[in-house]
Amino acid sequence: MLYAILCYHDEDTVGSWTKEQDAAVMQKLTVVQDKLTKQGRLGPVARLLPTTAATTLRKEDPPLVLDGPFAETKEQLLGFYVVDCKNLDEALDVARDLGKANPGGAYEIRPVGHFTPGGVKP
């Protein structure tokens, strides 16, 4: 089963990391990702730009365009992984590994219903 691991963290805190701290976290995350890649279990991974770059379309009639993220929360959605796991326990293990590399905040683990891998190249 595919699980989406949605990464929530306080954006202000993440934005206050020095370049070196940020690079160190990314490096540690790469180690976890490499393991999953070798096992053929890692799908798309995205780190999102700050929520200041976000725009929200409210699907009213007519649709309403708003500046900023959908929800004003203490922690913001900053990125996500798609990982192939047998069950929730395995997905939680992956999240724990990621959490060791990047403490603070929370991961929301959501089973994926429909998945289209797509063909977009960065």
Partner 1 sequence: MTDTAWIDAALTSARPQAVGALLRYFRNLDTAEEAYQNACLRALKSWPQNGPPRDPAAWLIMVGRNVAIDDIRRSKKQEALPDDEAISDLDDAEEQLAERLDGSHYRDDILRLLFICCHPDLPATQQIALALRIVSGLTVKQIARAFLVSEAAMEQRITRAKARVADADVPFETPGAVERSERLTSVAAMIYLIFNEGYSASGDTAEIRSPLCEEAIRLARLLLRLFQSEPEIMGLTALLLIQHARAPARFDADGAVILLDDQDRSLWNKSLIAEGLALIDKAMRHRRSGPYQVQAAIAALHARAEKPEDTDWTQIDLLYGALEIMQPSPVVTLNRAVAVSKVRGPQAGLDMIEPLAQRLSNYFHFFGVRGAFLMQLGRNDEARTAFDRAIALANTSAEAAHIRMHLDRLQRDSQPRGKKAGK
Q: Of the two residues 16 and 87, which places its CB atom closer to partner 1 in the complex?
A: 16
For tokens 């929520």, the residue is 51
Q: Of the two residues 104 and 111, which places its CB atom closer to partner 1 in the complex?
A: 104
Contacts for 74 with CB less than 8 Å, ≥ 6 apart: 10
Out of 31, 57, 68, 70, which residue is the one contacting partner 1 (CB under 8 A)?
68
How many residues lie near partner 1 (CB under 8 A)?
26
Tell the smallest beta-carbon distance from residue 85 to partner 1 (Å). Answer: 26
Alpha carbons 93 and 102: distance in angstroms, whole number: 14
Q: Which of 36, 8, 54, 34 is nearest to 93 (CA)?
A: 36
Applying CB under 8 A, the residues found at the interface with partner 1 are 10-17, 19, 21, 24-25, 49-53, 55, 65-68, 74, 102-104
